[in-house]
Structure 1
Amino acid sequence: MNLFYFCTIFLSGNNAYSDPLIKLSLLRVESTSLQKEMEYVVWTPTAPPPKGGYPLLVMLHGLGDTATNWSRTSVPKTYTKALEEGLAPHIVIIPDGERGYWVDHMGSNLQYESWVLELIDIVEQQYPITEDLGFRTIMGLSMGAWGALSIGLRNPHEFGQMIAMSPTDVFIAAEKTPASPLYTIPFGDPVHAPFVSSKEPREWIMRGAGTEQRIALIYGSAEQDKFSKGAERLINTAKANDIDISVLVVDHGKHSWKSTWQPSSFLWWMRWLSDIQNP
């Protein structure tokens, strides 16, 4: 496959993020999973790789965002602060998932989960990345948080940790808006409950997944039910099945960057990750 750089705000212009610890690059690749050209962002450390390769962090964006949104927020600055505090420099991969819910769609060739796994393979050919699961993490926000949990739990050979910021509970969401194309496009029209169950994080935990992995969960107490009530259901299921889960509840937090997804929330899970990797 041909990979190539192209002009991006990260490398030039007034909005460019510059830091001596990381380089941000926007790339494109022809995806076999989606049968079209897709964008993705890679954050690469300027420090040389450790023996065994860099840790891996895959970050999945939320609905309405793109691969570039993370890099236009305070997240890179928060990440470099975590590096300064002792977090190991990671190869960070941010794929563009469009509005696909990070799932291989029912009855369709739109394969967004497969795209994530495909991209990891591509990037591993470009950079030295560790195979140690304690240093391989997938995280996401909202739609991406559901995707991170779903993909992570069903691929324990790829990830040792999952980080979920305000994950959607698809069952609650589809019950409230059953005709919404947000759910009928990926999960069937009408939404096909057995298909959702085959991807739903709580269902996989109840089947025994996640016992050798760790989860960090962040959500706001004032978010809509599909996030707050869904998070509570996830916590109860995880605890009932002896899953290692750490939780941050943002008091009065709503489903927004200004409210729940503040730099302090990102720094919380970055410190959590650092503590795991540097016991």
Structure 2
Amino acid sequence: MDKGFVYESLAFYSESMRRYMKYSIYLPSNYESDFRKFPLVYLLHGYNGNELNWIQKGQIDQTLNYLIYKQQIPPFVVVMPDAGNSWYIDSSEDNKYESAIVNDLGNYIENRFEVSSERENRFICGLSMGGYGALKIAYKYPTKFYAVGSLSGVITRQIPPKGKIETVQDDNWPFTSENWEKENIFNYLDSLKQSGVNIPTYLTCGYDDFLGLYLGACDLHHQLQIKNLLSELHIKAGNHDWKFWKEEIKEVLKFFTKIIEIY
């Protein structure tokens, strides 16, 4: 079984952040020999995570190697940005993580690597905080992404409880009652529907999740169904941990593959 190439903690300059930001990237084994533009997946980390989590804790490279070898998924390029505890939002002039990832990183990756610039070959997913970020970004920029996946995503109509997520206090908490009205995933559903762009959504969460995040996943799935927006909901045995995420990322990648084949 051929192994892909993994490059950890690389850096790119973000105009939005006015500084360098880190990212890691996975390139499939045929990246240098196959002259094509590869499909791209943005893979977002959770709270207190970084650009290394999906590699060091999630063994995502091993998962990709196996699924590509078994021809269960195409040879994806996977980029994993570091976003601190930003929740993937633009919270201040000095912390524009959403813009940095959607615009700066996106442009950099497409110029630096042999990846497709077509929306039909661009996907985004994440776990916990990253599950929230992936959904919010996909729904806010529906012309940029073809499908989205959320693993144990923090999906809530109320502001995420400060200090409860990962049980750590954060003095730089980005949410206020004012900006939550803008950053709430549910508040993007009407504009998503009006855009006429259907973004297939894969929602998964463990029914033993200690944060009870399956409730938000069920709520969002229900709202998507009401609006006739494509969504799959999977509530399975498992907690809010890497054991669950390492298995479920396989299903998300297969879901993305199915979307490519269907459309």
User: One fold, TM greater than 0.5?
Assistant: yes
Match of 1:20? 2
Q: Secondary structure at the match of 1:207?
A: helix
Match of 1:246? 232
Distance 1:175 1:74, change over 3 A: closer
1:20-67 Cα deviation digits (max 9, x unpaired): 34111121123222222221111112314565x110100110011110
Match of 1:85? 70
CA contact (8 A) 1:137 1:162 kept: yes
CA contact (8 A) 1:34 1:112 kept: yes
CA contact (8 A) 2:45 2:54 kept: yes
Written as runs of structure 1 = structure 2, the 5 A alignment for 1:16-55 is 20-26=2-8, 27-47=10-30, 48-49=33-34, 51=36, 53-55=37-39
Written as runs of structure 1 = structure 2, the 5 A alignment for 1:78-227 is 78-86=63-71, 87-105=73-91, 107-117=92-102, 118-172=104-158, 174=160, 182=170, 185-187=173-175, 191-192=176-177, 194-209=178-193, 211-224=197-210, 227=213
TM-score normalized by structure 1? 0.82
Distance 1:177 1:170, change over 3 A: farther
CA contact (8 A) 1:169 1:226 kept: no
Contiguous gaps of at least 5 residues in structure 1: 1-18
223, 235, 252: which is aligned to 1:237?
Answer: 223
The Cα shift of 1:132 comes to: 2.9
Match of 2:50? 66
Identity %: 21
The Cα shift of 1:207 comes to: 3.3
Q: Secondary structure at the match of 2:83?
A: coil
1:115-137 Cα deviation digits (max 9, x unpaired): 11211110111123223322210
Contiguous gaps of at least 5 residues in structure 2: none
The Cα shift of 1:147 comes to: 0.3
CA contact (8 A) 1:148 1:162 kept: yes
Distance 1:227 1:199 in 2: 18
Amino acid at match of 1:186: P
Amino acid at match of 1:250: K
Q: Secondary structure at the match of 2:160?
A: helix
Distance 1:147 1:20 in 2: 32
Distance 2:149 2:69 in 1: 21
CA contact (8 A) 2:110 2:117 kept: no
Q: Secondary structure at the match of 2:235?
A: strand
The Cα shift of 1:233 comes to: 1.1
Amino acid at match of 2:117: E
1:122-171 Cα deviation digits (max 9, x unpaired): 01111232233222101111000100000111111210110110111354
1:94-126 Cα deviation digits (max 9, x unpaired): 100111111111x44201101112111101111
Distance 1:134 1:278, change over 3 A: same
Distance 1:114 1:93 in 2: 16
CA contact (8 A) 2:218 2:233 kept: no
Distance 2:38 2:246 in 1: 27
1:52-91 Cα deviation digits (max 9, x unpaired): x110100110011110111113322111121123211122
The Cα shift of 1:257 comes to: 1.3
The Cα shift of 1:173 comes to: 5.1
60, 65, 69: which is aligned to 1:75?
Answer: 60
Distance 2:109 2:172 in 1: 32
TM-score normalized by structure 2? 0.86
User: How many residues are paired up?
Assistant: 251
Q: Secondary structure at the match of 1:167?
A: coil
